Amino acid sequence: MVSREQVTDALKTVRGPDLESNIVDLGMVSDIFISDGKVYFSLTVPAERAKELEPMRQAAERVVKNIEGVKGAMVALTADKKPGTAAPAARPAPAAHHDHKGHEHHGHDHKGHSHGAAPGRPQKAGVPGIGAIIAVASGKGGVGKSTTAVNLALGLKANGLRVGILDADIYGPSMPRLLKISGRPTQIDGKIIQPMENYGIKVMSMGFLVDEETAMIWRGPMVQSALLQMLREVAWGELDVLVVDMPPGTGDAQLTMAQQVPLAGAVIVSTPQDLALIDARKAITMFRKVEVPLLGVVENMSYFIAPDTGTRYDIFGHGGARAEANRIGVPFLGEVPLTMAIRELSDAGTPITVSEPDGPQAKAYCDIAAAVWSELTGKTARKAPNLVFE
């Protein structure tokens, strides 16, 4: 077993920016987390020196990997910014590229305007090969956000797009179970992580790197580092869309993704009742403050049809998310009913869009996916074909 003391001792051999003291004594090393022979930590550096200190990060990663028993290391630089020293970054346009049918995809907001950065504002670095990154978020847990994210991604794929999913919930990753993926991802040349894959979707999640029952007791900087590495140090290849399943709430992870990742837009998931909508408004406010376009709102668990009688019940009310979308002037993307099939198939790792692609629930997700793509690009999505997932 590799101990924190071994890692700390190794890191003391790495010089800090002053070239005199080491990075441990300078207090640059975050809490060190070790799981299954893999070591995770971040180095806090001044924001304006982050680029020039990349060799220091590489040196820290190298000395840790040389420790006997270490299978891999995830090391990232965390920028230490002073409040008020930098203007908020504008989101650049999704990279123009050609899909497998030769069409160019360009980013637009829900009113059809181009996603160019505002004059004089710094741009966030894009991810090579990824056309657009969209966040699926909610203000609270328990509204079916991860299930919606998975079926949205599969719906986008059914509409003919190349899709990946980043599970940004460090503390409660869901993608391994929802997509029935087990095992550990491999690394290319010991540096870039090869994403896992199922149902034709490329996936990256902290759930692939640590055991399911491991408690991730991490502070903000470590969460930020892990998120950015899972985004930028993964061999995603060529994707039309990367769907980011955001953790619930509006904390460190959400702000990291919103402020440092070139999000092309955000999809908000809520249930109809007022309590969920209150929290959904907080997520909407956060994205607006960091200038991420809102692609629209999804009402999940919108209604329930009794399987024995066919009677409809509005268990959580109905239409609240649609009314909220209309009130704030963003598109209403659609509603998804509360059904046993969605829950059972999600728990089994065979999402309903895969298991019952011709059913009404799968159609609802595919229609939402088409609406999202239309809002994102200003184009009408191709009609979803009947697909057989193997």
What is the per-residue pLDDT across 23-36, written as a single tens digit (0 to 9) for each? Answer: 999 988 877 878 77
How many whole angstroms separate alpha carbon 144 and alpha carbon 370? Answer: 19
Please give the pLDDT value at position 286. Answer: 82
Q: What is the mean pLDDT of residues 101-122?
A: 41
Cβ-proximal residues to 379 (8 Å cutoff; 6+ apart), any chain: 105, 373
Position 222 pLDDT exceeds 80: no
Position 368 pLDDT exceeds 90: yes
Q: Count the Cβ atoms, other than its own, within 10 Å of residue 305.
A: 13
Position 370 pLDDT exceeds 90: yes
Please give the pLDDT value at position 281. Answer: 78
**Of residues 324 and 109, which shows the higher confidence score?**
324
Structure tokens at 119: 């004059």
Q: Taking the CA atoms of 142, 156, 193 and 222 in sequence, report the sign of the dihedral they define.
A: negative
How many whole angstroms separate alpha carbon 188 and alpha carbon 118? Answer: 37
The CA-atom distances, in angstroms, between 2 and each of 10, 35, 76, 226, 346 are 12, 9, 20, 20, 36
**Of residues 75 and 332, which shows the higher confidence score?**
332
Q: What is the mean pLDDT of residues 317-346?
A: 85
Position 293 pLDDT exceeds 50: yes
Position 2 pLDDT exceeds 90: no
How many whole angstroms separate alpha carbon 321 and alpha carbon 332? Answer: 8
What is the per-residue pLDDT across 64-104, written as a single tens digit (0 to 9) for each? Answer: 999 998 888 878 776 654 433 333 333 334 444 434 433 44
Percent of the chain's residues with pLDDT above 90: 26
- Per the prediction, the chain carries an average pLDDT of 78
- 210-214, 243-247, 265-269: which range is least confident on average? 210-214
**Of residues 235 and 229, which shows the higher confidence score?**
235
DSSP state of 82: P
Position 239 pLDDT exceeds 60: yes
Position 254 pLDDT exceeds 80: no
Among 110, 155, 159, 164, CA closest to 364: 155
Please give the pLDDT value at position 220. Answer: 61
- 70-79, 82-91, 154-163, 312-321: which range is least confident on average? 82-91
**Of residues 140 and 1, which shows the higher confidence score?**
1
Give the position of tokens 């891999």: 72
Maximum Cα interatomic distance, the chain, rounded to a whole number of Å: 76
- Which strand (E) or helix (H) includes residue 11? helix 4-11
Q: What is the mean pLDDT of residues 327-350?
A: 87
Q: Which of 140-144, 227-231, 377-381 has the highest mean pLDDT?
A: 227-231
pLDDT band at 385 (very low <50, low <70, confident <90, very high): very low
DSSP state of 93: P
Q: Which of 97-106, 109-118, 146-155, 240-249 has the highest mean pLDDT?
A: 146-155
Position 365 pLDDT exceeds 90: yes
What is the per-residue pLDDT across 184-196, written as a single tens digit (0 to 9) for each? Answer: 888 777 678 899 9
Please give the pLDDT value at position 249. Answer: 67
Q: What is the mean pLDDT of residues 280-300?
A: 84
Cβ-proximal residues to 166 (8 Å cutoff; 6+ apart), any chain: 203, 204, 205, 230, 231, 242, 243, 244, 245
Please give the pLDDT value at position 351. Answer: 92
Please give the pLDDT value at position 132. Answer: 93
Give the predicted TM-score (pTM) of the model.
0.67
Burial environment of residue 121 by CB neighbours within 10 A (0 to 12, 13 to 18, 19 or more): middle
pLDDT band at 267 (very low <50, low <70, confident <90, very high): very high
